[in-house]
Amino acid sequence: MAQDIVQAESFFDRHFGITARDLDKVLSKALEKKADYADLYFEYRMNEAISLEEGMVKNSSRSTANGVGVRVLAESKTGYAFTDDITIEKLELAARTAQYIARNRESLLPAPVGGQAVRSHDLYPVSSPATEVSLEQKIALLQDMDRLARSLDPRIQNVFVSLASEHKIVLVAASQGWVVGDIQPLTRLNVTCIAEQRGNRQTGGYGGGGRVGFSFFTEKKDYERYTREAVRQALLNLEAENAPAGMMDVVLGPGWPGILLHEAIGHGLEADFNRKKVSAFSGRIGQKVASELCTVVDDGTIPSRRGSLNMDDEGTPTHRTVLIEKGILRGYLQDRLNAALMKMPLTGNGRRESYAHIPMPRMTNTFMLAGGTPPEEIIRSVKKGLYAVAFGGGQVDITNGKFVFSASEAYLIEDGEVTRPVKGATLIGNGPDVLTRVSMVGTDLKLDEGVGTCGKDGQSVPVGVGLPTIKIDGITVGGTTAA
């Protein structure tokens, strides 16, 4: 672990000749005009993408990006400048631009902006980054998946496989005098199949990944499991009926349906929205916002997970933050700026897409803790409803709390039995209300496979979600068949 810090630190010195003395010089320039805090975020990123379609790997691409962002904080103001030219001249210029916001400031006393950063985790020790594995080996895997998918059923018409690998080295230097670095691998393997039967064409998709190396997919033959799942879903959709429309009881399966928490609860608890009082959850800490069966956490410290980080993008170690404890709203997700202004502790949720972006509070891995009811019992308790086990994307309006998420695999429940598959069901609900309707929580907590990406204010970051099987008493299902 100590070695990693040295590696990330020395990397920028070695490659760009930026020394510790240079960092001091730039940071003091950035603080010059009575700012509270300044930091530098150095990033070197290698991305590789390989995709297969029609049985061929036609494209592979690689990109290298490096740059540095200079940030200056003065109370609630942020000045930011970034450059992809890592030279001391460009850094000083960026520092001058970023401190614009501290001009004409009267206060001379800097406000506290969180404490010293100390690296406390080593969550993703990857000996060989996926970007270092040979292209031939990756191509062979993609072709295996294509062959397997086609061999499983003649109705599979086309198969798309994509492998995306990232290797990122970051370094944060703050005006308080500390420097921390991290090396962040990230890999994702996705497969999508198109099945066709009598002119009816349907898709199914599956995938996984994390802060792991390439061997993650081959060790336990996860790539086969993804392929079988994608084929199964595509074939299932050939049989699926139109989804019902209207209010009904819904059972969510374990794992990826945790996207419910991400949309309904997580975004609304990001500190920036709450400091500005524009969230439907503003000022509700200590209040009951969920049934007492619900405990929801955001945890950036789970080894190798897609949403995990040793430190956030402001150098703060990641934490496990309890958001809802037995139904009571407990905490917000903080970055440095908002924690200082709200006088609340840092939670390690200050994240950014890249050096070209200003950090803001973001989720890591967000999930609900397991409850006491066997999942079978939960399904048996529903007379007429929907059982949704896989979802595509979701979205929320923070201010009025309304959120949606769309099922990609769902079934009707009739008299306690899972019956026919349905397609095209979007669920819509109200964030501060939906968890109050959770009447059963299963024993089967599962985290997702590691494919989630969250977008906020134009910035994308990798995240994870998780959920045990739960039952929601009444939520609107947006199908086409009026019930």
Partner 1 sequence: MVEGDSFFVTVRLGEIEKVSQAQEKRLGLRLFFGSSSATASTSDISRGSIERLIDDTCAMARSTAQDRYSGLPAPEELARDLPDLALFDDSGQSLSVEERTNLALEAEQAALGFDSRITNSEGAEFSNQAGRVIYANSHGFSGEYRGSSYNLSVVPVAALNGSMQRDYWYSSQRKFSRLEPPESVGKKAAARALRRLGARKVKTRELPVVFEPEIAATLLRQLSSALSGYSLYKGASFLVGKLGSKIASELVTVVDDGTIPAALGSKPFDGEGVSTRKKTVVEKGVLQSYLLDAYSGRKLGYASTGNAARSAGEPPGVAPTNFYLAPGAHSPEKIIASVEEGFYVTELIGFGVNLVTGDYSRGAAGLWIDKGELSHPVEEVTIAGNLKEMLLNIEMVGNDLEMRDRIAAPTLKISRMTIAGD
For partner 1, give the closer residue by CB, 295 or 338.
338
In whole angstroms, the minimum distance from the beta carbon of 55 to partner 1 comes to 8
Q: What is the 3-state secondary structure (H, E, C) of the chain?
A: CHHHHHHHHHHHHHHHCCCHHHHHHHHHHHHCCCCCEEEEEEEEEEEEEEEEECCEEEEEEEEEEEEEEEEEEECCEEEEEEECCCCHHHHHHHHHHHHHHHCCCCCCCCCCCCCCCCCCCCCCCCCCCHHHCCHHHHHHHHHHHHHHHHHHCCCEEEEEEEEEEEEEEEEEEECCCCEEEEEEEEEEEEEEEEEEECCEEEEEEEEEEECCCCHHHHHCCHHHHHHHHHHHHHHHHHHCEECEEEEEEEEECCCHHHHHHHHHHHHHHEHHHHHCCCCCCCCCCCCECCCCCCCEEEECCCCCCCCCCCECCCCCECCEEEEEECCEECCCECCHHHHHHHCCCCCCCEECCCCCCCCEECCCEEEECCCCECHHHHHHCCCEEEEEEEEEEEEECCCCCEEEEEEEEEEEEECCEEEEEEECCEEEEEHHHHHHHEEEEECCCEECCCCCEEEECCEEEECEEEECCEEEEEEEEECCEEC
For partner 1, give the closer residue by CB, 330 or 402.
402
In whole angstroms, the minimum distance from the beta carbon of 422 to partner 1 comes to 11
For partner 1, give the closer residue by CB, 116 or 395.
395
For partner 1, give the closer residue by CB, 158 or 295.
158
In whole angstroms, the minimum distance from the beta carbon of 277 to partner 1 comes to 6
In whole angstroms, the minimum distance from the beta carbon of 270 to partner 1 comes to 13
For partner 1, give the closer residue by CB, 78 or 176.
78
For partner 1, give the closer residue by CB, 393 or 416.
393
In whole angstroms, the minimum distance from the beta carbon of 83 to partner 1 comes to 6
Q: Which amino acid, residue 467?
A: L
In whole angstroms, the minimum distance from the beta carbon of 162 to partner 1 comes to 12
In whole angstroms, the minimum distance from the beta carbon of 368 to partner 1 comes to 21
- Render the burial of 65-103: b for 16+ CB within 10 Å, e for the rest: ebbbbbbbbbbeebbbbbbeebebebbbbbbbbbbebbe
In whole angstroms, the minimum distance from the beta carbon of 186 to partner 1 comes to 17
For partner 1, give the closer residue by CB, 83 or 364.
83
For partner 1, give the closer residue by CB, 399 or 460.
399
Q: Between vectors from CA 190 to CA 187 and to CA 195, what angle results, nearest 5°?
A: 175
For partner 1, give the closer residue by CB, 369 or 425.
425
For partner 1, give the closer residue by CB, 93 or 344.
93
In whole angstroms, the minimum distance from the beta carbon of 84 to partner 1 comes to 4
In whole angstroms, the minimum distance from the beta carbon of 304 to partner 1 comes to 27
- The residues, any chain, with a CB within 8 Å of residue 323's CB and separated by 6 or more, are 265, 266, 269, 296, 297, 298, 329, 330, 331, 333, 366
For partner 1, give the closer residue by CB, 195 or 441.
195
In whole angstroms, the minimum distance from the beta carbon of 93 to partner 1 comes to 9
